[in-house]
Structure 1
Amino acid sequence: MMSSKAVLTFLCCVALINLANAQDQSGFISIDCGLQPENSSYTETSTGVKYVSDSSYTDTGASSFVAPENRQNMMQSMWSVRSFPEGIRNCYTVAVNSSSKYLIRAAFMYGNYDSRNEIPRFDLHLGPNKWDTVELESPMQTVSKEIMYYVLTDTLQVCLVNTGNGTPFISVLELRPLLNSSYVAQSGSLQLFERLDFGSTTNLTVRYPNDVFDRIWFPSTPNGSKSLSDPSTSLTSNSTGTFRLPQVVMRSGIVPDIPGGSVDFGWVPDDPSLEFYFYLYFTELQEPDSRTVETREFMILLNEKAFGKPLSLNYFRTLVLFTSDPLTAKSFQFSLRQTQNSSLPPLINAMETYFTNKLPQSSTDQQDLSAMRDIKSAYKVKKNWEGDVCVPQAYTWEGLNCSFNGTNMPRVIALNLSSAGLTGEIASDISRLSQLQILDLSNNNLTGPVPAFVAQLQNLRVLHLANNQLSGPIPPILMDRLESFSINGNPSLCPTSACEEVSRNRSKKNKLPGFVIPLVASLAGLLLLVIISAAIVFILMRKKKQDYQGNETAVDAFDLEPTNRKFTYAEIVNITNGFDRDQGKVGFGRNYLGQLDGKEVTVKLVSSLSSQGYKQLRAEVKHLFRIHHKNLITMLGYCNEGDKMAVIYEYMANGNLKQHISENSTTVFSWEDRLGIAVDVAQGLEYLHTGCTPPIIHRNVKCTNVFLDGNFNAKLGGFGLSRAFDAAEGSHLNTAIAGTPGYVDPEYYTSNMLTEKSDVYSFGVVLLEIVTAKPAIIKNEERMHISQWVDSLLSRDNIVQILDPSLCGDYDPNSAFKTVEIAVACVCRNSGERPGMSQVLTALKESLAVEVERKKHLPVGSTDSVEELALGFGSNPPPRLR
């Protein structure tokens, strides 16, 4: 039986083939922590892996070396350590390829480097989340932590956290690029439990260069089994499949040690709530004999329950069997048993076991994260600024306050660098902190002007610049908008008497001549009479206007940007050539095709009889003036002349999404196409929720408001019902119900409370339509909502019937399951259990990357020597995005 310990001893690897045959190390990041001198490197003789010093990856900690007598039989990378006696959290920052999956491995060997013989215990973090706790049982034990992690950004942080049980340290940090389609969890990431090379004839660990991904395989021959190998076989490693198994591992395996016996192995998890994934690897090692007919067929049982159908192995062909959904149990007992049709005993070559690490905490908004790192670099801040800026909240950077708005990414709202010894000018990177409300740069030695970008921080309420060496004028808008503003102690800053009024004491100290006050009072009275008269005339004139004009502010009041041009109705007629190309009715108006500046455009003309249509179109124009994103429809101009109102949009050659995903549509979208559209819509919606100030709730997300250009890139439109939402004033908007049946949040129906999660629900419905090609309301006898239909199939573990049959099974099953999981989580009736759009977007990008990777590595024009089978097992509840 296999050991139940999750931590495996990190042994010295002996290369089993000549290093001249080593694979390419492109993308490998191999860091020898504590290596001296700084910026040095070397090549490990047993593996051919090139290791580099950690000096460019962290700027804290101390370098130490394991005593020479403790280095025997160890790789050179284990000879040195970096310890962190100061600060609670210290981090390594590594540049990586964004939207990529990596094997990340950290190794620890104490070796009594500090001569204290006191083994520490500390936490290991990956970005903002706890990865694991590092515990060693003896000074010479080596502990390795390994996880398969999908990186969304171009940097990755691995942090060591002091928990009060000794000084954290690290020996080695390694990153290895993987295929995005490999090692997929329904949620979170897969953390290594065991990786076993069954029946090894050398009893040595196997890694790079034998394993192109540098996975470390440990030899194992469980009780009741024996080794079977065929060293003469010409079996090659997998060069086209997902897992690319090492040749030396697949050349051996285990069979029962007695005739008619079974191969048995298992373990008892320390935590029965852990969710496990299994990867089993098989290949036939016995060359067929033409004189006899022998077969190897066997069943795999897990806790006495059949794990798939009987397996038959073929010579030269590798079979990969893995779970597509997680399993939990108090114990796991595998048994491979020969069937009655088989003349040969069961055989297994290798196995990997992982458990889910949910890593639930979203990192700080990437723009804020990047800005704060650049500010740290620009000012050479000496504070213990390590790891993620805002999270975990216990380790938020000193001097910062962050907002934590449910499932959205944390944002920086306050930055206090008072008395921090800053020099130079006010860093321009501060302008990227778009949600900043409080900025304190007082008591430093800053020079230069107060930059204009400070006035452009729309949320800024408090600005303290006192006691610096600033000079020049102050942006006037700051004087009026800020609640608190201090500039004293800057002798060269706006030295004129006019600038002295910037202080919050706005009373004038110079007395006015005696005649001024009566004169001003008289003029004020006269002005008041004029205003009252004008107001009466204005009210009378408004009563004569058409009903469709309502009592809202006219569009003309908006200060249009250069790209948003105002047109006369005559120009609209000319653009549409007299409205001769009617594209059909939309909402309260009609769309027409036109030409503007040599490009095709769409002109939406509102009905003069519809006051509601006029209001919605005007609201849409209002929002489109201030939002600009590649996945939101672009407004090119408008007309507001008498009872004529029209808007000019960019032309979307492929119409709206609904035209292409109905059951009767002739369009056939691939799985990659569908995910690409979903990601586009999610990006646009996330921008509205997190990229706009104040945020905007779309309120009418549906397939007919998703438009497709000539390349089927998606853009979200239909902003007539949208509402700006100031999160600082509350968690929701109280508003009348509006939207399209089937897409409206059920909580919104019952409470009239509109939130960003209302959009998430609508997006979930759209995503289900993309996946299934069924409408939001399925017109059967019951008029079932699409979410209910999907739930009914998921309860029977029937995900295949959920997907659009036109896909013909051409999709990655893990990607498909994850996408359905995302959609079902979005349409949860309890809004508190729905993810935010940032979380949804992250999950969809990963799902898309898995499918892209699968298609990239499909074999072309040859017979695949590897068969990969994903198995559902057990009776898990319908998926929920965690």
Structure 2
Amino acid sequence: MADPLYCLRRHFQVVRYLISEPAVWILSVDEGFISIDCGLSSGTSYLDEKTGLNYTSDYGYIYTGKDHNISAEYNGQELFKTGLNLRSFPTGGRNCYTLSPATTGHKYLVRATFMHGNYDGKEHDLARSPLTFDVYMGLHFWDRISVNNTAKTYIAEVIVVAEVNWISVCLMDIGNGTPFISSLEMRQMKSSLYPVVMANQSIALQERYGMGVSSLLRYPDDPYDRLWWPWQGGSRLLNISINETIKRYPGDKIEVPTGVLQTAVTSSATSIPLNFSWTAPTSWPATVAVPAYYLNLHYTDFQQKLREFNIYYNGFLWEGNIKPAHLIADYRSATVQFTSDNGFYNVCLIATKASVLPPILSAYEIYYLVQHDSTMTSSEDVDAMMTIKSEYQVKKNWMGDPCVPETYAWTGLTCQSDGIISRVISMYETTNGDPCNGKSPKKKNMVGLVLAIVIPVLMVVLLVLTSLVIYFCRKQAPVRLLGCVDVPHIKSKEDCKDHINISDGREFTYKELMEITNNFSVCIGEGGFGPVFHGRLKDGTEVAVKIHSPTSEIEKGMTEFLAEVESLTTVHHRHLVFLVGYCTNKNHLALIYEYMPNGSLYDHIRGKKAVIQTLRWCDRVRITLEAAQGLDYLHTGCVLPIIHRDLKSHNILLGHDMVAKISDFGLSKSYFNVAQSHISVTAAGTIGYIDPEYCLSGRLTTSSDVFSFGVVLLEIVTGEPPIVPTTVHILQRVKEKVSTGNIETIVDPRLDGDYDVSSIWKVVDIALLCTKEASDERPTMSMVVAQLKDALALEEARNINQ
């Protein structure tokens, strides 16, 4: 049997010769570039005076949406000239631009900009209620645009390998306002650049900065028209620059512009690190995976003295003993995907002990992986369909891949015959009649006569085309036919392999508890809930069994029991103690946890284990950092924030490998909804760790946990308890000593000077911020995590250099 598309192509070749004037793609191409000013009047174009690039109207790239100019009051506030007008999409859930021509297998930079400018005159309160919509590159989620400032220009940029001879950019209405767009730009790049970009994966830009540039640098200084923004961070850093030529190593995979490499930032002394940080998006769809990052750091050296530094990523050594070459472009590029549990990322450049000069950095780029996890129609099939669409000027938009409209309806005509409904992509406007109802247009002139001859042939082509779309879409995506709802299916374990491993909440009988604990023979501790016994499951797994004490009030015991079960069966994190199961016998309430053989942080700082062996400063920082990550997950990683309410050194437990995990969720509380600012509840917790503002007001917030964590940080520095009889709280004791400026009066004497002074000071600074009297002046746990990573990096650098 002949290939249906082969027949279609042959038929198309015959039919095209019957057309008196072949169709023409409307393109604006300058040196391999496509530059589109969205919303510009049809047929108009202009030369951008800053770049020298020719911008054209978006007519011909899309057939839906409405043109607008921004309000006159915002003229002059637009970042680019393209911001003066825009195209909005008040109808249709999915509206797509088709950027063509592209060459299959070639690499392109695609950029979209969005400037609202109160174009609709409605004076939206975007700060209070942001306008939000999604941008897709073909079938693949690219970015979520959240517009909260009428005068700001928002930018989305991606580097992609063309899968077919066009690239589709789609705006998705998610019900939070009308999507709009100001410009679209496509720039062809060398195929050797950015080798992480391949046919099955793209990278989208999160940040790109030229550390020393004074203003935005782009085309023609950058032949690929990348945008290099001036960096605004680092008050203690110095801007430096040169005019000499910068050479490149053969095979340079990034080709940073000379104008960027001729400027840089450095710190004022080798003891001062150079660092930057960023956070992962928090508003992305739940169906989109947390982004995995790729990172490029660019540098050269302007001086011929020893400059050597280490690069730390999230507190861990990434690259060591880097010596930038004199006036030669160099870079470090991530060879693996960087991820973070709490969504906060930090990179720190620290001079080695041997270095004469401090670290230097000219630029950095942060990209996140765009997952290509959807199957598109065969490229050959799509090419044939799109060629016919272009040649015959089919103006009803296909909206991207013709086989995957998902839940978004196609804009073709709906026809019905013998009770069967199908979609026909029609070339006709309403004035040309409707092929579904049999009405014919009035013949106005000779064009009508030509159409009368050609239409029957075209209708055959279009009907064959529609049949083939259905045929191939059924063949490739049976549950995504022409806007039909996906057929639900049961996910296998393989489908769920990347999901959080939630406890199955196994329930144990009291008889099983007796067997597990050998009749409760080994008691390993006791808390407010009751005693804790060592146990062993049938498979040999060691567990800790916490039994409700009969001396406790049963109501209070049940409340704490239910709170802990609810918290630990709905969240799971590597730095939260894992709940193996529980017993709900009213007279024998019990919680079964993973066993943490190395006790608590308290044991190693102030308990019996502290007497045997002092916990090193490096380990103290690492342990509290891990605990901070667990606490940050409770605050920001859960659907509704969970407040621990009883954080203290006793509740930071240590496993076989000394990895820290937070325990004891008996007092924890969860927010009821995302808009909630606090929880009104009677103060509870442990004296010395309780947030005084919460204690007085009864208003519990995540900041209350931050205060408690700050006290724990003061514990690891001083080795002292929060409350000492006949003296003031640890916070006041440390503040008094800090005022003298002598760190030795603060630090636990058992550390015997084995620590980096800057690392100690950083932890003290964090602790004092966490314990601010006013809760709104305290940092978030994400901020605390970032600072602790810096403190750990400083200490590890000292250990490496010793």
Per the normalisation by structure 2, the TM-score is 0.47
Per the normalisation by structure 1, the TM-score is 0.43
